[in-house]
Amino acid sequence: MVDARGLSCPVPVVMVQKAVNAEKPNELEVLVDAMVCVENITRYASSQGYTVDVKEVDGGEFLMTLKKA
By annotation, the residues acting in catalysis are: 9
| C-alpha span between 24 and 16 (Å, rounded) | 11
The answer to whether 36 and 9 are in contact (CB under 8 A) is: yes
| C-alpha span between 64 and 33 (Å, rounded) | 11
